[in-house]
Structure 1
Amino acid sequence: MKICRFGEAGLEKPGLIDAEGAVRDLSGILEDITPGTLSAAGLAALRQVDPASLPVVVGSPRLGVPFTGTQKYVGIGLNYRDHAREAGLAVPSEPIIFLKAPSAICGPNDDTLMPVGGEKLDWEVELGVVIGTTARNVAEDDALDHVAGYCVLNDVSERAFQMQSAQWDKGKGCDTFGPTGPWLVTRDEVEDPQDLELWLEVNGQRMQSSSTAQMIFGVAALISYASRYMTLVPGDIIATGTPSGVALGRPDAWLKPGDIVRLGVAGLGEQCQRVIG
């Protein structure tokens, strides 16, 4: 099942994507897609809805973040071996955690705003893991039971801010630095989150192309590890890291106003952002 939210920012309605790829309006059935919707019971109830019984949304509406109520956006740094190499850093012995401000989260195709003083804007295609059941000190073998689904993320980064006194959060949490979506694909439709292709292009040029099979720490390991240090609640996001090909490894390629970034994860959809100054 693919669930989404559509409409103007702040006025989004709940929807789902039918077998033909059309957006269907769920607003006659539920008010919004909340953390409660992401629970096992909430998703089970949605699966009972026949998409054909729902109104088709006409045209190409803006897609917002596919769910509401995110309390924590947990980022994982250097989780692909090739990315660690291009950054000139050692492969970590345990996951590197940083927190991205929830206010950075935006729709998958919303403009990316260059922050005041920004000069080294970078891109990072990532697999997003969305929590559906509260996770606290969970075992790795049980970790995937806490997942509602998966989505495409772009962990937009301002490297000058990030590397200034090693303040990762400062370079990660600016407004519009967290495009999320276009939809949430429920866990039952993703056979193996460790075997998904990722890609990203800037102005039509392929910059990143890899697979989640290249991650150092897998999805279950990341959930288990993070849950030891913070309680993960429904709606929380884990960004699982990015492969090589970011601008950090090619300093002449920093994003600039007017650039178009397209990215996607196989089976989870695509995003497109325009950088504005």
Structure 2
Amino acid sequence: MRLVTYREASGDRPAVVVSSPGGDRLLDLSAVTPRVEQILADESLLAEVRAAVETTDAATLPALESVALAAPVTPGKILCLGYNYRGHVPDGVDPTANDPEWPDVFVKTSNTLAGPDDAVAIPPGATDVDYEGEVAIVIGRRAQRVSIDDALSHVGGYTILNDVSDRAWQRRQSQWALGKCSDGFAPLGPWVVTPDEVPDPQDLLVEVVRDGVVTVSQSTSTTIFSVAFVIHHLSQVLTLEPGDVVSTGTPQKLPEAQEAHRPLADGDAVTVRISRIGELTTRFVSPLTPSTTGTPQEVHA
């Protein structure tokens, strides 16, 4: 199933995407629960949603494209991995060197969360904003010091995260927080795909498209640390709660894309597509745009 959160004047609502010959439709789930993460955490609610999908006439439902989507979940924590694909290493490091012993983990703060339909404003003065397309895990069941063998049973689903990064700020210090945590720098979505749709998270193709050109293309089979290990590892230190997001890192850009690197600018769009999960397209805008009167006004992404 594909679970989404969509925007209404009265507030955000959970829904499930229903496939139909006429395109994707939207079945509102607000009568079941107010939040997607509660569905992911409750087998009885999941069963109720599946039954509703089976018994609903999709032709009577509104089109998915008729609504605006918010981030599918509101995580208490967003944890991310750096350099988790073989061949993706820090500047100056031999890409053929031995794998690291432990994952490189950092945090994106709550202000970074953005929905799949939100534009991301490039911060004033930013000179090197970049994108990173990643498979993101959504926790479905509380995980505290879990074993590797049991780790995947704590996954509620999978989604896509664009780990937008300000490289200039990232290079200014050993800690990455200021390069990773500008407002809106974690577009998430468009939906959470339940684990039955992703039987093997280590067999997904991650691709990124910019300006019609594929700039990233690599399988999750080449990650250094598997989804199961990452959940196990993180849960030894902190408790993962339903709705928490763990983003598993980005592959290295293809050589020609590295050579043609250009910081993101107003009007750019980047699409992250991951097999079995879907596509997330993020549009980038300058922080100020001219109004009809010629006076600059803020863009509210």
Scaled by the length of structure 2, the TM-score of the pair is 0.84
Map 1:64-213 onto structure 2 (within 5 A).
Answer: 64-68=70-74, 70-84=75-89, 87-89=91-93, 91-213=99-221
Q: Which residue of the partner structure matches residue 295 of structure 2? A: none
The equivalent position to 1:39 in structure 2, one of 18, 21, 41, is 41
Runs of 5+ consecutive residues of structure 1 not aligned to the other structure:
none
Q: Which residue of the partner structure matches residue 49 of structure 1? A: 52
Check whether the contact 1:125–1:152 (CA below 8 A) recurs between aligned residues. Answer: yes
Distance 2:68 2:107 in 1: 27
Deviations 1:158-182 (A, max 9, x none): 1111121123111111111111111
Q: Does 1:224 align with 2:232?
A: yes
Displacement after TM superposition at 1:123 (Å): 0.7
Check whether the contact 2:155–2:195 (CA below 8 A) recurs between aligned residues. Answer: yes
Displacement after TM superposition at 1:94 (Å): 0.8
Distance 1:256 1:239 in 2: 24
Displacement after TM superposition at 1:67 (Å): 2.1
Distance 2:125 2:10 in 1: 28
**Which segment is superposed worse, 225-234 or 29-38?**
29-38
Q: Which residue of the partner structure matches residue 265 of structure 2? A: 256
**Which segment is superposed worse, 126-135 or 111-120?**
111-120
**Which segment is superposed worse, 130-139 or 55-64?**
55-64
The equivalent position to 1:22 in structure 2, one of 21, 24, 27, is 24
Distance 1:78 1:161 in 2: 18
Q: CA 1:75 to 1:10, structure 2 compared with 1: closer, same or farther past 3 Å? A: farther
Displacement after TM superposition at 1:250 (Å): 4.3
Q: Which residue of the partner structure matches residue 68 of structure 2? A: 62
Runs of 5+ consecutive residues of structure 2 not aligned to the other structure:
287-301
Check whether the contact 1:122–1:246 (CA below 8 A) recurs between aligned residues. Answer: no
Check whether the contact 2:19–2:25 (CA below 8 A) recurs between aligned residues. Answer: no
Identity of aligned residues (%): 36
Scaled by the length of structure 1, the TM-score of the pair is 0.91
Kindly provide the amino acid, as one letter, of the partner of residue 89 in structure 1: V
Q: CA 1:225 to 1:10, structure 2 compared with 1: closer, same or farther past 3 Å? A: farther
**Aligned residue pair count:** 275
The runs of 4+ residues in structure 1 deviating greater than 6 Å are none
Q: How large is the RMSD of aligned CA atoms in angstroms?
A: 2.2
SS of residue matched to 1:188: helix
